[in-house]
Amino acid sequence: MTMVNAYCIIFFFQLLSLTGASESGIVGGKVAKPHSKPYMASLQVRGHHLCGGILIREDFVLTVAHCQKSEPMTVVLGAHDISKKEKSQQWIQVAKYHPHPKYTGQHDHDIMLLQLEKNATLNNYVKTIGLPKKNGEVPANINCVVAGWGRTGVNMSASKVLKETTEKMQFSFECKNKWKEYFYSDHMICTKFDKIKGGVRQGDSGGPLICNSKPQGLTAFTYACDCNNPEYPHVFTKVSFFLPWIKKVMK
C-alpha cells in the first residue's frame, strides 16, 4: 500500500458551509425509525447542522473536539427531521465547551464535552445513553450501528431525517496497518464497511458507533479522497479510554 496522503485525511465536518447544507450523512443505509435513538443530538450553528453528539447526562453531550466553532452552538435533542420544528425537539444552548486538554487541533485526543445551559427534559423522545466500561475491548467483526443526518453521497441532496447503517469492527493492527502514524490503538478504533451498506461521511463527526447497545466510538475521520473506499477504515475516538476524563469533567 502507498503511504496515506495527508491531504486525504479529513475530519468529517470540514466541508460544512453555514450558508448551505452540511456535507454530512450516511451513505446508503436506511432511515432510522423516528425517535428510536433518543440520545442522538444535532449540533447546530446558526440553524445549520454541523455535527452529531450523544446525550450522556441531562446537562452534558459528548462529541468530538474538532466540532468546536468560534460561533455559539445549539444542541437539538429529540429530533428526527431537523428541517422541521418538531414538537419533540428541545433546543438548548451550549454553556461551556470542554475539549480534551491534549487535543491540538489534529486527529489525536479528538473528544469534547458540551455543558448545556440547562438540563434536558428526559421523556420518550429525549433520553441519555450509558457509557461503556473502562478500557473495554470490542471484539473484531461484530456489527455496530452508525447514525447521522445530512448528505447521502457526493453531489447528492441532504437527508434531513436521521439515517443509520452498520459497520463492522476491525482489528486494531489492521487499522494501524492502513492509517500508519495517524492511528493510535489505545484511544482509537476503526471499522470496515462495504459500498452497498455504505457508512459515515463528512458531517457525521461526533456521532456514535453503537456496539452491543453502548457508544464505543465517536466518528472522527476518514479518507477524504474517497470516503466510500472500503480499503480505508473509518476511524472513531474510543470512548472507553476517556472515561476517567469524562467523569472528572462532569463532577
Q: Per-residue pLDDT tens for 27-74?
A: 557 889 999 999 999 999 999 888 999 999 999 999 999 999 999 999
**Mean predicted lDDT score pLDDT of the chain:** 82
What are the residues whose beta carbons fall under 8 Å from the beta carbon of 36, sequence distance 6 or more? none
Question: pLDDT tens digits, residue range 87-134?
Answer: 999 999 999 999 999 998 878 899 999 999 999 999 999 999 999 988
What are the residues whose beta carbons fall under 8 Å from the beta carbon of 17, sequence distance 6 or more? none
pTM, rounded to two decimals: 0.86
Question: pLDDT tens digits, residue range 113-123?
Answer: 999 999 999 99
Provide φ and ψ at 53, rounded to 5°: -170, 175
Question: Could you tell me which residues are beta bridge partners of residue 151?
Answer: 158
Q: Has residue 148 got a pLDDT over 80?
A: yes
Give the integer Cα–Cα distance in Å for 251 and 237: 22
Three-state DSSP state, 67: helix
Question: pLDDT tens digits, residue range 184-229?
Answer: 889 999 998 665 444 455 557 899 999 999 999 998 886 555 555 5
What pLDDT does residue 4 have?
Answer: 52
Query: Rounded mean pLDDT of 3-30?
Result: 45
Smallest CA-to-CA distance from 162 within 17, 34, 55, 49 is with 34
Among all chains, which residue has been given the C-alpha cell 468546536?
Answer: 68
> pLDDT band at 16, cuts 50/70/90?
very low
Catalytic residue numbers read: 66, 110, 205
Query: Rounded mean pLDDT of 152-176?
Result: 78
Question: Could you tell me which residues are beta bridge partners of residue 94?
Answer: 116
Is pLDDT larger for residue 232 or for residue 249? 249
User: Which domains occur in the chain, in start order?
Assistant: 38-128+243-249 (2.40.10.10), 131-240 (2.40.10.10)
